[in-house]
Structure 1
Amino acid sequence: MTDHQSLKNAFLFRQPILNRQQELAGYQLSFGSSAAMTAPPAGAAAALCAAYSELGMQSALGHSCAFIGIDTEFLQQEAIELLPPAGVVLELLLDGAADRATLTRCQSLRARGYTLALPDYRGIDDRSRPLLPMVGVIKIDVDAADASQLRDLAGSLRKLPITLLAQGVGSSEQMEHCRSLGFELFQGRYFAQAEIVSGRRLSASQAALIQLVNLVGRDVETALIEDAFKHEPALTLNLLRVVNTVGCRGSRLAQPVTSLRHAITLFGRRQLQRWLSLLLLAPPGQAADPSRSPLLQVAALRGRMMELLIEPGLQGNHRHLSELAFITGILSMMPVALGLPIEEILEQIAVERDVRNALCEHGGLLGNILALLESFDNDDAPGCDRLLSTLPGHFDHQTLNTCLSIALRWLNGGSE
Structure 2
Amino acid sequence: MSDVEGEQPSSSQLADPYQVYFARQPMLDRDGMLCAYETLPRVVLGEVEGEVDPRASAGAALLKAFATPTLRAALSGHPAWLDMTREALFDDALLRLPADRVVFELPVGIGADPELIARLVTLHGKRYRFALDNVTKADESFAKLLPYVDAIKIDTQDIAPALLPKFASVLKSAGKLLVALKVETAQAHDHAHALGFDRFQGYYFAKHQGGLRRASAPRQALLNLLQLLAAEPTVMQLEAELKLNPVLVMHLMRLANSGSYALGRKVTTLREAINATGTNRIARWTQLLLYADGRKVKLEDDPLLQLAATRARFMELATAILPEAGPSEEDAAFLVGVFSFVDAVFGGSLDEALEVLRLPKPIRAAISRREGVLGRLLDVIEALERGDWAAVDMASAALAPLDAGAIAALALTAAEWAGMADSSAEAQGLERIED
Q: Same fold (TM over 0.5)?
A: yes
User: Equivalences for 1:182-331 in 2 at 5 Å?
Assistant: 182-194=196-208, 205-221=218-234, 224-230=237-243, 232-235=244-247, 237-238=249-250, 241-242=253-254, 245-246=257-258, 249-253=261-265, 256-259=268-271, 263-286=273-296, 289-313=298-322, 318-319=326-327, 321-331=329-339
Match of 1:103 among 117, 131, 144: 117
**1:387–1:120 Cα change, 3 Å:** closer
TM-score, normalization by structure 2: 0.79
**1:283-314 residue CA offsets vs partner (Å, 9 max, x unmatched):** 22425x44212111110101111121111235
Q: Structure 2 stretches of 5 or more lacking a match?
A: 1-14, 45-56, 424-435
- SS at the partner of 2:100? coil
- SS at the partner of 1:132? helix
Check whether the contact 2:79–2:102 (CA below 8 A) recurs between aligned residues.
yes
User: Equivalences for 1:339-350 in 2 at 5 Å?
Assistant: 339-350=347-358
Q: CA deviation at 1:353?
A: 4.9
Q: CA deviation at 1:107?
A: 0.5
Check whether the contact 2:43–2:58 (CA below 8 A) recurs between aligned residues.
no
**1:380–1:254 Cα change, 3 Å:** closer
Q: CA deviation at 1:101?
A: 0.9
Name the stretch that deviates more: 43-52 or 115-124.
43-52
Letter in 1 for 2:164: L
- SS at the partner of 2:148? coil
**1:362-394 residue CA offsets vs partner (Å, 9 max, x unmatched):** 233333322321232233434322332323x52
User: Equivalences for 1:172-183 in 2 at 5 Å?
Assistant: 172-183=186-197
**1:203–1:239 Cα change, 3 Å:** closer
Provide the residue aligned with 1:39 in structure 2: none
Provide the residue aligned with 1:137 in structure 2: 151
Q: CA deviation at 1:254?
A: 6.3
**1:204–1:95 Cα change, 3 Å:** closer
- SS at the partner of 1:394? coil
Q: CA deviation at 1:351?
A: 3.8
Q: CA deviation at 1:400?
A: 0.9
Alpha-carbon RMSD across the aligned residues, in angstroms, is 3.3
Letter in 2 for 1:189: Y
- SS at the partner of 1:128? helix
Q: CA deviation at 1:326?
A: 2.0
Q: CA deviation at 1:145?
A: 1.1
> How far apart, in 1, do the equivalents of 2:72 and 2:254 lie?
27
Provide the residue aligned with 1:412 in structure 2: 419
Check whether the contact 1:17–1:24 (CA below 8 A) recurs between aligned residues.
yes
Check whether the contact 1:239–1:263 (CA below 8 A) recurs between aligned residues.
no
Q: Does 1:53 align with 2:67?
A: yes
Provide the residue aligned with 1:15 in structure 2: 25
**1:404–1:55 Cα change, 3 Å:** farther
Q: CA deviation at 1:211?
A: 2.2
> How far apart, in 2, do the equivalents of 1:5 and 1:378 lie?
23
> How far apart, in 2, do the equivalents of 1:342 and 1:176 lie?
24
**1:229-267 residue CA offsets vs partner (Å, 9 max, x unmatched):** 45x2535643664466449922234663155xx544443
Match of 1:153 among 167, 180, 195: 167
- SS at the partner of 2:246? helix
> How far apart, in 2, do the equivalents of 1:272 and 1:170 lie?
32
- SS at the partner of 1:194? coil
> How far apart, in 1, do the equivalents of 2:383 and 2:136 lie?
31
- SS at the partner of 2:35? strand
**1:78–1:226 Cα change, 3 Å:** closer
Q: CA deviation at 1:214?
A: 2.4
> How far apart, in 2, do the equivalents of 1:215 and 1:355 lie?
20
Name the stretch that deviates more: 348-357 or 294-303.
348-357
Q: Indicate the percent of aligned positions where both proteins have the same amino acid.
A: 28
- SS at the partner of 2:264? coil
> How far apart, in 2, do the equivalents of 1:243 and 1:51 lie?
30
> How far apart, in 2, do the equivalents of 1:388 and 1:341 lie?
28
> How far apart, in 2, do the equivalents of 1:264 and 1:210 lie?
18
Name the stretch that deviates more: 92-101 or 175-184.
92-101
- SS at the partner of 1:291? helix
Letter in 1 for 2:373: L
**1:91–1:45 Cα change, 3 Å:** farther
**1:354–1:109 Cα change, 3 Å:** same
Check whether the contact 1:17–1:25 (CA below 8 A) recurs between aligned residues.
yes
User: Equivalences for 1:341-360 in 2 at 5 Å?
Assistant: 341-360=349-368
> How far apart, in 1, do the equivalents of 2:361 and 2:67 lie?
41
Q: CA deviation at 1:277?
A: 1.1
